[in-house]
Structure 1
Amino acid sequence: MLRIGTWRSAESIDVVACGWHDDGPGPLETGIKLIYGIDGRVPAFPGLRVGPLAARGAEEIAVLLSQGLDVVLTAPGCCPAAPVVAAGMWHYGWTRGDAGPLAGATVAGLALAAQRGPCSVEIRRDGRSSLDGDVTAAAVRAGLADRFPGGRYRTPEVTVPLESVRLSQEAPSRILIALRAGAAR
């Protein structure tokens, strides 16, 4: 399981935290990685390995996470979905050939980035996800529609058509996000 969350308030910095819990063969592994968008001074992260350069996209972020960094910095203007897509690439080993999972993570990343308060997404290996926080399916759909000019969202890794996005309200504070099979390129 891979959970990705943000902290957003007037008093805090904007950080994306990726947490994982592996239940596969071998020893249990858990942990946290931080992806921090820089737009000014970088705070001190004592005791953590911080990347020396700001990553510009999902693939660069995933490579830096794979190198064992604890904190990856992202450049201003980085795609808002990139931290979530990168976390999936790093954790699950997705490549550009995994269009479905990449598309699902892209939509989850855009939905997460549009939330004003603390929120999290849980990403599954197949790219299906859930968004947890003060959310409704209608509000998430409206926020996504604003990000899909011409009905499509393009990243270097994948193109997602808005009509393929399926949202369902599972609980008052939980939205399931799925894509129609084969819709992404």
Structure 2
Amino acid sequence: MLRIGTWRSPESVDVIACGWHDDGPGPLGTGVKLIYGLPGPVPPFPGLQVGEPIARSAEEIAELLTRGMDVVRTAPGGCPAAPVVAAGIWHYGWTRRDRGALAGATVAGLALAAQPGPCMVEIWRDGRSSLDGDVTAAAVRADLADRFAGGRYRTPEVTVPLESVRLSQEAPSRIRIALTAPLTAAR
């Protein structure tokens, strides 16, 4: 499972941490990657490999993670879902054929980006996700509706119709995110 969270403190407002825990055969694999979106220089991260180019899309972020970067710098003003989509592409090996997984990560990324405080999403291989934090399904639905122009959200990887998004409040601080409608590839 892949966990992605934000800190939302004055010092790290746009730092997203991607943590994973593999429970498949073989030795246990865990770790953390940082996707850093603040303008200006990156603070020193002793022992971590910082990517030099600034990534502008989910595919560029995923490429840098795949090349072994521990810290990836991103350009301001990009798709707010890109770090979550990139983490899924990198961790699970998704391609454009994995439209359901990419769409699920897109919605989870948009929901995560809209939260004002510390928050976390969990993403499974098939794109199912949950959002944990000080959240309600109604508030997340309103945040998503603001981002879906014309009832759709388009990324270079996939187009997601808002009517396909299902949110359910599983606990006071946990929302399950699911998609129900067929998805189309982005054009």
Q: Give the TM-score category using the shorter length.
A: over 0.9
Instruction: Show the counterpart of 1:129.
Output: 129
Q: 1:43: Cα distance to partner?
A: 1.6
- 2:39 is aligned with 1:33: no
Superposition pairs of residues 78-157 of structure 1, within 5 angstroms:
78-157=78-157
1:50/1:69 contact within 8 Å kept: yes
Q: 1:69: Cα distance to partner?
A: 0.8
1:161/1:184 contact within 8 Å kept: no
Instruction: Show the counterpart of 1:166.
Output: 166
Identical positions, percent: 81
Counterparts in 2 of 1:168 and 1:20: CA distance versus 1, 3 Å:
same
1:100/1:184 contact within 8 Å kept: no
Is the partner of 1:51 in helix, strand or coil? Answer: coil
Question: In structure 2, what residue type is equivalent to 1:104?
Answer: G
Counterparts in 2 of 1:20 and 1:91: CA distance versus 1, 3 Å:
same
Q: Distance in 2 between matches of 1:13 and 1:143?
A: 19
For residues 44-84 of structure 1, give each alpha carbon's deviation from its aligned partner in whole angstroms, at most 9, with x where no partner exists. 22221000011001001111101111101111112100000
Q: Distance in 1 between matches of 2:143 and 2:13?
A: 22
Q: Distance in 2 between matches of 1:84 and 1:13?
A: 16
Instruction: Show the counterpart of 1:51.
Output: 51
Question: In structure 2, what residue type is equivalent to 1:16?
Answer: I
Q: What value does the CA root-mean-square deviation take over the aligned residues? A: 1.1
1:103/1:184 contact within 8 Å kept: no
Q: Give the alignment's TM-score, normalised by structure 1.
A: 0.97
1:100/1:181 contact within 8 Å kept: no
Structure 1: state its 5+ residue gaps: none
Q: Distance in 1 between matches of 2:106 and 2:42?
A: 26
Q: Give the alignment's TM-score, normalised by structure 2.
A: 0.96
Instruction: Show the counterpart of 1:180.
Output: 180
Q: Distance in 2 between matches of 1:11 and 1:83?
A: 19
2:163/2:181 contact within 8 Å kept: no
